[in-house]
Chain A
Amino acid sequence: MRKLIILAALTLTLSACSNWEQTTYQALATAQTTLNNAQTAYEVSATLPNGACPAVPTVACIPHTKAAYTSISDAKAIWKTAADAMIVYETAKAMNAGPTALAQAQAGVEAALANLGTILKDVQALMALGGK
């Protein structure tokens, strides 16, 4: 817990906006880290017998199963959908799109993020079981 408090305290040195755009960016960045870690952990087991992780893995390891493959692959695809939707929103904003167009773009981002949140729970469960 001490480590967490120190890390959290580091954020005091950073300035951050609390608006929707920054929150969305942070969510995408955090999810990206999780997905990259999960993919690395999944590939660890690729060369192990039966794709199984050791009982006491020395590095993060996710079993090389179809379920893990599907969860991580789907999460990556949904993450890209969410990031692309955010790019559409930011592009619309830069082009001074009207409030209706912006609201539609924002709704697209939020829908994609909702889907991402659901699939990320599966990936986080995999990481909790064998990732670090």
Chain B
Amino acid sequence: MAITSQDVATTVTEIQQAGDLILQEIETFAPSVAVPASVAEMLLDLAAKAVAAWAAAAGVPVTVENLQLLEAKLNPAPLTPPTV
């Protein structure tokens, strides 16, 4: 099924709503800190990466092999222990 312009509009709206939600969480976490424009830009970058990942995944047939490939791409290295 092809993606329609309505799908795109819905996706953009959802991204905006997600950005608003994250901003609200930041303000809840640090109410005395004004959210700078750079953070808003950061959120848009994050959303753009999510859309890119979604677009890349959209055309991939769901098979056991592709799921295993996806799993292999998750960074296998354990995180280094925390400093503090």
**Which A residues contact B (CB, under 8 angstroms)?**
1, 3-5, 7-12, 14-18, 21-22, 24-26, 28-30, 32-37, 39-40, 42-43, 45-46, 50-52, 63-66, 68-69, 72-73, 76, 79-80, 83-84, 86-87, 90-91, 94, 121, 124-125, 127-129, 131-132
Docked CA distance A69–B81 (Å): 7
In this assembly, does B59 line the interface, its C-beta being within 8 Å of a C-beta of chain A?
A: yes
Bound form: Cα–Cα A41–B52 in Å: 19
Contacts of A72 in B (CB 8 A): 79
Cβ A68 vs Cβ B82 within 8 A: yes
Nearest CB on A from B53, distance (A): 4
The interface size of chain B toward A, counting residues with CB under 8 Å, comes to 52
Interface residues of B (CB under 8 A from A): 1-3, 5, 7-8, 11-12, 15, 22, 25-26, 29, 39, 42-60, 62-64, 66-68, 70-71, 73-75, 77-84
- Whether A11 contacts B54 in the complex (CB less than 8 A), given A35-B74, A50-B83, comes out as yes
Query: Which B residues lie within 8 Å of A29 (CB)?
Result: 53-54, 56-57, 60, 70
Helix, strand, loop or mixed for chain B's interface? helix
Check A83–B51 contact: CB distance below 8 A.
no
Nearest residue in A to B46 (C-beta to C-beta)? Answer: A127
Least CB distance from A81 to B in Å reads: 11
Measured CA separation A114–B79 after assembly (Å) = 24
Q: Are B70 and A128 in contact (CB under 8 A)?
A: no
With A11-B55, A29-B56 as known contacts, state yes or no: A4 contacts B74, CB within 8 Å. no
Interchain CA distance A36-B11 in the complex, whole Å: 23
